[in-house]
Structure 1
Amino acid sequence: MIFVLLPFICYTAVFFRKENYVEQMGLYLIVILTFVSIHSIIFRAKSQKPFFALSQPTIAIFLFGCIASFILIVWWFGLPILTAVTLLYLLVFCGLIYRLLLFWQASKLDNYASDAVPSFYEYTVAQLKHEEALRKEFTNYLHDDILQDILSMKNLLHKAGKPEVQQLLDDTLRKLTSSIRSQMQAYHPKLLKNLTFKENLQSVLDSITNDSNTTVALECKDDIFLVEPYTMLICRFARELTVNALKHSHATRIEVKLQQEHDMIALQVSDNGDGFSVTTDNPSPHHGLSSINEQVTFLNGHMTIKANPEGGTNVDIRTPMKGDESYASFVGR
């Protein structure tokens, strides 16, 4: 408002004795009222952001100093009033343009930051959803795979003296043991300290393909080194992606490729199966992929899913490796 009223006051103070210059000043009042109305409508719908980051007393002192300095310069050089006002508005205009450029640059940075790193609220909600999904999955596993077999064995206990019943009980117990061990590996793969990371990863992949005709090939350097918790995370990602390929793609060959250069980890799992129509932005039809994509995002990484030219699906994960302190909360999830 000050930049609308200031020229009006200055013009009136200079030319109020000259009728030819002030006889149309009523139109200027109409313009001022129109501007005030538009200004109030705009900021009634949307709150106005503070123009300065300083406190009001500091702003007042700063503006007083600027105005006093400007008047002193005008008086020292003997500039005409019209020239002084024009120069003042040119400086104000340049300042507004500079502030607009700063605002535009800050908006770009804010958008990039919001896209790259989820907010604390988004992180918390996503973690709660992930934990709730794990609880539901574990409950379904206990009910469908464990409880039903236990109830079946309970019903057969009174016939335990028969050889065929004993064999059935033995087979059921072996099945339960295998199922529980497999589920333990899914939630928390067991990595032996006396083996290299490649050997541990190979062991994890072999454990899920023992009863399958699908060939799983691991391409990885023997001396690859990952810090905690990335060893557990990468093993879990590789296992989950391989299990997804075995379940959904009907592939005969699955290739797992792991590379680590400088501070970047690259995991690629591809198959020659049927493939499926799913994108990285919307992997919801496959809970495993959705969970992996969520965790990779929280690690400031990126996961891409695309079809192989020769058939099948390729999943590529790239994430920075930043040490064992920052993401320790992911271990055991």
Structure 2
Amino acid sequence: MKSRYQIKQVFILLNQLLIISFLCHEYLRNIDMEASSIMPLTIISLMLFYSIYIQFINLKGSYVLSQFSNLLLFLSWVFLLLRSKEKIFIFLATPLYVFLPYEIIQFLLMFIFQDCVYINKKRINFILKTSCFLTLISMLNTRFFYVMFMLQWILNFVCFIYVLFENRSRLFFVLKQERKNLISSIFTIIVPYIIYVFLFAKQSNYMENCGLYIIVALPLFSVHGIVKKNHSNLNGYILNSKINILLSICLLCFVVIIGIILHFSILSYFLLLHCVVWFVSFYLTLLYSEIKQKILNGEPRNSEMTQENFYMNNIIQIYKEENIKNDFSNYLHDEVLQDLLSIKNMIYKLDKPQVKEIIIETLEALNNSIREEMQEYHPIMLKTFTSKENISNLLEMIKETYHRKKIPISFVCDDNLFLVEPYNLILYRMLRELVTNAFKHSKCIQIDVFLSQKKEKVELVVEDNGIGLDNIDVKAHKGLASIHEQVRLLGGCMQIDSKKPSGLRVTIQITMRGDNSYEYFINR
């Protein structure tokens, strides 16, 4: 059975063949493209090549990178089909063109908010989808379609600005943490664009769809800057940047020289480049399959080669992770679930109430144990909930686990609080540990939780009115020692105080850093 990564590789090869077929079709129709086509075809080709590059480096199957790559492919096809003069291609491009603003805005919102809920998310999604659907229906009438299409762009833009304004604290956080990448992206796109407009402003054929390219390129190139920074470790696999530039220049010069000798048209150059990219992609696909087969067959590996080959190292690491997941899954299925089913069947066969009670208690304990282990491996945090709602659900789950103690929990938190990744998971685990300890050991009758945020500063306070601690030494308590070490590594501080007349207060303060956040979000 093929892995998702292999399926994506096959998809890349098929997509590239379709691109080559389309360019061949245009070439065979003897379409003599003008010099004005160089810029659009260059942009389209760069988006396609970068999309292929992302798919091949995405060995771990990052959802964000997959979405980014798919969006680039989608944009490439839209722009490519719009370049054609044939009615069939224009007909195919029109509905794709309608989805263009929707797909771009959805990806940008997903990236900014790290695929989490934001204020009025459901309403905004409904408005975006409705406007897209109505624009598609309006294709039956050409004039009405142009009006609806313009309204769709305006409405989508207004919704995007509204979401950013309503969640401006989150936006300011992202802009502050990623300002270097965003500023460099703006200059990289705007400066060449201004030069191009200055040179060709009087020639309408050179300016066709130029505004649309800048609207699309600016936000996506900003995302590219963040992605590139967070995948700087790829230097072990790809060649040195200077060597890359040198090879690219040599390849370009080689293609140009061959083109001049053979009297290539503009379209022929791009057709040749896409053929080269297809063969490189095909080679990488075969390389992956060969390495995977060797790993599965348990063949010995050359240690020196393994250290130098980043590609092989990544594949080996992925299969190790998959084996761990598979072993854990087998344990749950073969051991835990089978035992549960056996005990469940025994209940119906036993007549002694005492035995039934023991079995039921055992099942309840096993159920709680499994839930705790699942939460420890990966906490359940629903993307459809805000940070406050997820933490409220956690506290309710803990209360349900220790329902016999009947200890109420007070939780105070602002509705607009946001926790970027991985800080949401870190604070989630810390809070669970502290509240669970209070239930188990404090003998309290009330637990109070306070969570506040001021810009990137986050403060968590958990206090109870129990027996407190005689010896407030972090190292003497395993759970507190673990939390203290995590807080220290994050550059934060943790304070433990005795309450009057009795009880304990734990205060944790950390600073969220956006660069670490998006590195975790992209690589998860």
Q: TM (normalized to structure 2)?
A: 0.32
More helix per residue: 1 or 2?
2
Relative contact order (C-alpha < 8 Å, sep 6+): which is higher? 2
Q: Which has the greater radius of gyration?
A: 1
